[in-house]
């Protein structure tokens, strides 16, 4: 049987337009999905938007627009981002879909039947940005560490999930679940403390999914949102990899597996927790006025320039990202190295032709090592290895002085090597990869227009 590979991104709040962090996460998941397609696996890739959050309602009120109209408008921007970034998703889920609500009820019914939901009273600090309660000791200077805002103190009747019941099981499960190690240690450290039951309802809200058999409450958005990974995929569950940002690690590594344990679902295989993109060492945020709009970026630069610059960032650590960095990576690597190789070899092959020979040049490319880097989610290191081979190919042209020797056998080696480079780069820069493949797959190669015009 063909191996299946199911990958997800987190679903994005539609309270605002997409930012560069959304683009980063989507290209990470897309590169993974495409790599597994190259390996002949049956891939399913899910992304989408979270439409049931109260922060969406507040943003709509601020904009003076009806909630549904506001959500539809912003959801369309996320769809546009996926399209313009060449994201190869199989399903784009919107959590306002009736089918999703149906699955939320199916899951919660199983949790209720297990005796894991009860009614009680809650009081504590609530961050509207995170849409969750935060313990006082997790505040920094009295503020939410994620949103740098003071949470409000709430006291209300609520439904609770018996999260504490699953503490030991979670500790055991997490050992092989979270990547990288640093993010795993963070969660295990928190689990060593007392694990409290979690409030999973919101009283008085007029947007979202009604709590089962009690319309005075709505299902807490984080329970509803996490279930999208089942409602969006159904028979393809469990997920092989969830790709999420470090700010929502706890929800995906503790609350989500516990809900699945309670409802007797299979557990996901891996949780890939990526870092944030920074601007000059500072987190990119609206309050700091350093937001990078990916849709604006895609108007100025071609899609592969944006994808490549993002995938050159470290997945695990916070990385600096800027337009200047994009231009530098594009000019130095895509234009000077890959573009130059494609241009020179296609011109020489058009002039002198190629003659089949054993390809000793290609033996200098270690595909297994590249595969290992991608399996370890080290995309930047995988790209380093591919570009090291591009350097070898450029040196081969120089060393053999093909413009003088007219060596058809050397040109054959270069042609085949370029085709392999294009294949390996397809998960990263698919549009350019497909152009190279088309150019070098014909019997009579012709020099094409420059692949990457210098910025």
Give the helix/strand (H/E) hosting 50: strand 42-50
Task: Kindly report the three-state secondary structure assignment for every residue of 171-235.
Answer: HHHHCCCEECHHHHHHHHHHHCCCCCCEECEEECCCCCCEECCEEEEEECHHHHHHCHHHHCCHH
The catalytic position among 73, 283, 381, 435 is: 283
The catalytic position among 26, 36, 82, 130 is: 130
Known catalytic residue: 147?
A: yes
Domain boundaries, the chain: 4-274, 322-440
The catalytic position among 37, 55, 147, 435 is: 147
Q: Which has the closest alpha carbon to 33: 8, 1, 10?
A: 8
Residue 274 predicted with pLDDT over 80: yes
Q: Which has the closest alpha carbon to 330: 357, 305, 294, 302?
A: 305
| Mutual angle of helices 408-425 and 430-440, in 10-degree steps | 150
What pLDDT, on the 0 to 100 scale, is given for residue 147? Answer: 59
d(CA 419, CA 414): 9
* H helix intervals, 64-147: 67-84, 98-113
Q: Which has the closest alpha carbon to 8: 248, 262, 183, 232?
A: 232
* Three-state secondary structure call for residue 246: helix
Known catalytic residue: 127?
A: yes
C-beta of residue 273 within 8 angstroms of C-beta of residue 249: yes
CATH placement of domain 322-440: 1.10.730.10
Cα-based torsion angle of the residue sequence 239, 241, 246, 247 in order, rounded to the nearest 10 degrees: -20
Give the helix/strand (H/E) hosting 27: helix 20-38
The catalytic position among 286, 360, 368, 444 is: 286
Q: Which has the closest alpha carbon to 123: 223, 215, 196?
A: 196
Known catalytic residue: 203?
A: no
Residue 27: CB atoms within 10 Å: 26
The catalytic position among 82, 127, 313, 393 is: 127
d(CA 104, CA 121): 23
Q: Percent of the chain at pLDDT above 90?
A: 85
The catalytic position among 82, 144, 199, 313 is: 144
Q: Which has the closest alpha carbon to 427: 101, 39, 68, 60?
A: 39
Known catalytic residue: 19?
A: yes
Residue 142 predicted with pLDDT over 90: no
Residue 6 predicted with pLDDT over 80: yes
Picking from 57-61, 158-162, 264-268, which range would have the lowest pLDDT averaged per residue? Answer: 57-61
Known catalytic residue: 172?
A: no
Q: Which has the closest alpha carbon to 178: 257, 124, 111?
A: 257
Query: Token pair of 259, please?
Result: 């809900």
Residue 146 predicted with pLDDT over 70: no
Global pTM exceeds 0.85: yes
Same fold, 4-274 and 322-440: no
d(CA 108, CA 223): 9
φ, ψ of residue 428 in degrees (nearest 5): -95, -50
What pLDDT, on the 0 to 100 scale, is given for residue 139? Answer: 73
Return the CATH fold of 4-274: Rossmann fold (3.40.50)
DSSP letter (8 states) at residue 51: -
C-beta of residue 330 within 8 angstroms of C-beta of residue 430: no
Known catalytic residue: 144?
A: yes
d(CA 187, CA 424): 35
Known catalytic residue: 36?
A: no
Stretch 212-223: mean pLDDT, rounded? 94
What pLDDT, on the 0 to 100 scale, is given for residue 130? Answer: 66
Residue 131 confidence class, pLDDT cut points 50, 70, 90 = low
What pLDDT, on the 0 to 100 scale, is given for residue 291? Answer: 84
């Amino acid at each position: 049987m063909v191996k299946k590979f199911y990958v997800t991104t987190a679903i994005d709040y539609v309270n605002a337009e997409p930012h560069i962090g959304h683009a980063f996460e989507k290209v990470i998941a897309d590169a993974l999905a495409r790599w597994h397609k190259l390996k002949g696996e049956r891939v399913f890739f899910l992304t989408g938007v979270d439409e049931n959050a109260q922060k969406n309602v507040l943003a709509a009120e601020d904009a003076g627009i009806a909630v549904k109209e506001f959500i539809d408008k912003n959801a369309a921007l996320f769809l546009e981002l996926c399209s313009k970034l060449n994201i190869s998703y199989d399903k784009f889920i919107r959590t306002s879909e009736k089918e999703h609500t149906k699955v939320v009820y199916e899951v919660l019914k199983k949790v209720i039947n297990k005796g894991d939901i009860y009614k009680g009273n809650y009081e504590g600090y609530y961050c509207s940005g995170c849409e969750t309660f935060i313990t006082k000791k997790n505040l920094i200077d009295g503020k939410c560490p994620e949103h740098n805002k003071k949470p409000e103190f709430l006291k209300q009747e609520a439904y609770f999930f018996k999260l504490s019941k699953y503490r030991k099981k979670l500790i055991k499960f997490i050992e092989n679940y979270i990547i990288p190690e640093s993010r795993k240690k963070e969660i295990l450290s928190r689990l060593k403390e007392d694990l409290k039951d979690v409030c999973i309802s919101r009283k008085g809200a007029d947007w979202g999914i009604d709590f089962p058999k009690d319309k005075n409450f709505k299902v807490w958005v984080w329970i509803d949102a996490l279930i999208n990974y089942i409602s969006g995929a159904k028979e393809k569950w469990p997920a092989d990899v969830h790709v999420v940002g470090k700010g929502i690690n706890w929800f995906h590594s503790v609350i989500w597996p516990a809900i699945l344990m309670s409802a007797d679902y299979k557990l996901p295989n891996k949780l890939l927790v990526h870092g944030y993109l920074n601007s000059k060492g500072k987190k990119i945020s609206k309050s700091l006025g350093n937001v990078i709009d990916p849709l604006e970026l895609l108007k100025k630069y071609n899609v592969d320039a944006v994808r490549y610059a993002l995938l050159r960032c470290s997945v695990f650590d916070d990385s600096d990202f800027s337009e200047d960095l994009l231009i530098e990576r594009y000019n130095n690597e895509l234009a000077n190295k890959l573009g130059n190789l494609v241009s020179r070899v296609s011109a020489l092959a058009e002039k002198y032709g190629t003659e089949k020979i054993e390809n000793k040049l290609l033996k200098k490319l270690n595909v297994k090592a590249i595969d290992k880097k991608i399996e370890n989610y080290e995309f930047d290191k995988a790209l380093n290895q591919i570009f090291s081979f591009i350097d070898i190919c450029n040196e081969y042209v120089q060393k053999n002085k093909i413009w003088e020797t007219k060596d058809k056998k050397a040109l054959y080696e270069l042609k085949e090597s370029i085709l392999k480079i294009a294949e390996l780069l397809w998960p990263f820069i698919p549009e350019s990869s497909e152009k190279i493949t088309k150019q070098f797959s014909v019997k009579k190669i012709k020099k094409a227009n420059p692949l990457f015009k210098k910025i």
